[in-house]
Amino acid sequence: MVNYEAFYPGIDYMSAMPSYYTAPSTYQVSAGELGTTLDAQTANQLGELNTKINPGAKVVEIQGVQAVAWESIPDQHLDEMNRLNKLTGVEPSLHGPLLDASGVGEGGFTEENRFGTQNQMESVMLRAHKLDPTGNISVTFHSTVQLPEMRPHIMAEVDGKRGKVEQGLFYVNEDTGQIGQIKPEKRYFPEGKEFSGEEYKFVAETELNRQNEEFWSQSLGRANYHADFGENSVRRIIDEGVDIPKIMAINADYVVDKKEKEHIEDVQRNVTHGQIYLRDAYRDVKQLFDRAWGATDPSRYRGEELTSEKLKKLKSDREKLKNYAKEIEKKITPGIESEPERTEDLREIIHLGIKTLSDVEAPKIFRPLNNFAIDKSAETFANVAESAYNKFGDTAPIVNIENPPAGTGLSTGEDIKDLIVASREKLANNLSKKMSRGKANRVAEQMIGATWDVGHINMLRKKGYTEKEVIEETKKVAPYVKHVHLSDNFGLDHTELPMGMGNVPFEPMLKELEKAGYRGKKIIEAGNWWQYFSQHGGGNPFKPSLEAFDSPIYAMKEGPAWANTGLYGGYFSGHGAVNPPVHHNIYGAGFQTLPLELGGEMQGGEKGRFAGS
pLDDT tens digits for 15-58? 444 444 455 566 677 777 788 888 888 899 999 898 888 777 88
Q: What is the Cβ-side half-sphere exposure of residue 479, based on CA atoms within 13 angstroms? A: 7
529 — pLDDT class (breaks 50, 70, 90): low
| Of 227-236, 239-248, 291-300, 597-606, the least confident | 597-606
Q: Report the distance separating Cα 97 and Cα 125, nearest Å.
A: 11
pLDDT value of position 597 = 55
| Of 48-57, 109-118, 164-173, 569-578, the least confident | 569-578
Give yes or no for residue 12 having a pLDDT over 50. Answer: no
Mean pLDDT on 283-296: 91
Sheet (strand 179-182) strand order: 179-182, 169-173, 366-368
Contact indicator for 117, 101 with CB cutoff of 8 Å:
yes
Q: Report the distance separating Cα 61 and Cα 39, nearest Å.
A: 10
Give yes or no for residue 464 having a pLDDT over 80. Answer: yes
The pLDDT tens digits for 578-609 are 555 555 565 555 555 556 555 555 555 544 44
Contact indicator for 81, 45 with CB cutoff of 8 Å:
yes
Contact indicator for 129, 399 with CB cutoff of 8 Å:
no
pLDDT value of position 375 = 94
Rg (CA), the chain: 34
Q: Which residue has the higher pLDDT, 1 or 492?
A: 492
Beta strands 138-142 and 398-402 are parallel
Give yes or no for residue 270 having a pLDDT over 90. Answer: no
> CB count, 10 Å around CB of 152?
18
The candidate with the shortest Cα–Cα distance to 569, out of 592, 590, 540, is: 540
pLDDT value of position 315 = 92
Mean pLDDT on 445-465: 95
pLDDT value of position 609 = 45
Return the exposure string of 28-60: e unless at least 16 CB atoms fall within 10 Å of the residue's CB, then b. Answer: ebebbbbbbbbbbeebbbbebbbebbeeebbbb
Give yes or no for residue 62 having a pLDDT over 80. Answer: yes
pLDDT value of position 555 = 54
Contact indicator for 494, 442 with CB cutoff of 8 Å:
no
The pLDDT tens digits for 349-361 are 988 999 999 999 9
Mean pLDDT on 168-197: 84
Beta strands 138-142 and 91-95 are parallel
Classify 585 as helix, strand or coil.
helix
Say which residues have a Cβ less than 8 Å from residue 377's Cβ, sequence separation at least 6. Answer: 101, 102, 143, 144, 410, 419, 423
Give this prediction's pTM: 0.79
| Of 135-149, 264-278, 414-428, 558-572, the least confident | 558-572
Say which residues have a Cβ less than 8 Å from residue 498's Cβ, sequence separation at least 6. Answer: 20, 487, 488, 524, 526, 529, 541, 542, 544, 545, 548
Q: Report the distance separating Cα 75 and Cα 81, nearest Å.
A: 10
Average pLDDT over all residues of the chain: 82
Beta strands 153-158 and 161-166 are antiparallel
105 — pLDDT class (breaks 50, 70, 90): confident
